[in-house]
Amino acid sequence: MRVVIYARVSTKDQSCELQLRDLRAYCAARGISVLREYVDIGESGAKDSRPQLNELMAAGRKRQFDAILVWRFDRFARSTKHLLLALEEFRSLGIQFISYQENIDTSSPLGQALLQLFQPSPSLSAI
């Protein structure tokens, strides 16, 4: 499995080392080799467009990896809308999303069930 890591901190005086250490250890414990680490430093999670996140999304659209590993959901996206749109895009591309702190892995049955809880339901007016 081709796995990438995404880490982010909001200010330039913060460090992603804690996130990266935990994510690297997670991969090492499971025998997973990391294809690439995407790290945004000094980038607000409220912004949908960040340099490394944009590169990650472009690589995902080219199907260059099979799974993305993040430390927490809020390191990837601060808004629920941005997170859900990205998760839906990953799902449509066949890319698994793993959140270390929340212990969510969309490749597992439980992760799939939890992901379904977040999906928007069809409009009642369409029924």
10 is catalytic: yes
DSSP structural state of residue 127: -
Distance from the Cα of residue 23 to its chain's centroid:
12
Given 10, 79, 99, 125, the catalytic residue: 10
Contact 36, 55 (CB under 8 A): no
CA separation for the pair 21, 18 (Å, rounded):
5
Is there a contact between 111 and 63 (Cβ–Cβ < 8 Å)?
no
19 class by beta-carbon count within 10 Å (0-12 exposed, 13-18 middle, 19+ buried): buried
Residues tagged active-site:
10
